[in-house]
Amino acid sequence: MSRFYVSPDSVKDRKIYVEKEESHHIIDVMRLRKGDSVTVFDGTGKEYDGELSSIKNGRVIIEVWKVKMVDRKHLVNISLAQSIPKKDAMDLIVQKATELGVNEIFPIESERTVIKFSDDGKRHKIERWNKIAVESSKQCGRTELPKIKDIISFGTLLDFMAKYDLTIMPCLSEKTVSLKSALKKISKPSKILVIIGPEGDFSKEEINKASEKGAILVSLGNLILKCDTAAIDTIAILNYEYGL
């Protein structure tokens, strides 16, 4: 059965009034027709089974048969703070972090972040990353969307660290310990923050500030990973370690 996303505001009584963009996907891309069965989720944990009851003027209305709350959340919430990389690498990071169950994503500007955005540029990027998160959630079966936060500075991110039980920061500092050994010494946390640097890593000053705030500096092995690989690798290891 095909699976689509709608905003919670689109659901009214036993009908779903699908937005224009997703209606286009249903009609013109998936080639579904009136009477076809679909599954829809609204990003808050609810899934709806139903059928296309109306297709008119490029808009789809779905008649709902069944509503269910689907809890696919992980026992440990992982947040990713990613220094924005060059080109479109952030798109891949958002996609894979969504598939791996990350709860929220903080795009950050650090000292060595190459790309700097205007206010309009930031808004457009957040919109793009939200769309990628939606598409990834549709594909992987998530019922709750990850929260894509506004772009913030590295210093602002450090002010948020107190909300987390554990902060992991892979970097190239001489003060790092292996991620494996670090996790052995920690009882199971409920909220984890992973901080990933840009091309060229974080500056020494940033690493020292994060360490002073309580971040555990870790190594991901003998090879130097690209920032997108480092993000995916770290999240996957945490998923394995905590049986997510």
Q: For residue range 152-193, list pLDDT tens digits in order.
A: 999 999 999 999 999 999 999 889 999 998 898 888 888 999
What is the reported pLDDT for 188? 81
128-135: long-range contacts, CB 8 A cutoff, minimum separation 24: 128/91, 129/90, 129/91, 129/94, 129/105, 132/91, 132/94, 132/95, 132/98, 133/94, 133/95, 133/98, 133/105, 134/5, 134/43, 135/95
Q: Give 118's pLDDT tier (boundaries 50, 70, 90).
A: confident
Q: What is the pTM of this model?
A: 0.88
Among 55-59, 145-149, 172-176, 184-188, name the one with the lowest average pLDDT: 184-188
Q: Give 72's pLDDT tier (boundaries 50, 70, 90).
A: low
89-99 vs 227-241: helix crossing angle, rounded to 10: 10
Classified as helix, coil or strand, 237 is: helix
Q: What domains are defined for the chain?
A: 2-69 (2.40.240.20), 77-241 (3.40.1280.10)
What would the mean pLDDT of 125-142 be, rounded to a whole number?
Answer: 94
What would the mean pLDDT of 12-19 be, rounded to a whole number?
Answer: 92
Q: Per DSSP, which regions of 70-146 are E strands? A: 77-83, 104-109
Q: Give 244's pLDDT tier (boundaries 50, 70, 90).
A: low
CB atoms within 10 A of CB 35: 9
The mean predicted confidence, pLDDT, of the chain is: 92
- Residue 106 CA: distances (Å) to CA of 3, 95, 157, 241: 27, 14, 8, 23
What is the reported pLDDT for 93? 97
What is the reported pLDDT for 81? 98
pLDDT of 139 > 70? The answer is: yes
pLDDT of 2 > 80? The answer is: no
What is the reported pLDDT for 220? 93
First-to-last C-alpha distance (Å) of the chain: 26
Percent of the chain with pLDDT over 70: 98
Task: Tally the C-alpha atoms within 13 A of residue 201's C-alpha that lie toward its C-beta.
Answer: 16
pLDDT of 18 > 80? The answer is: yes
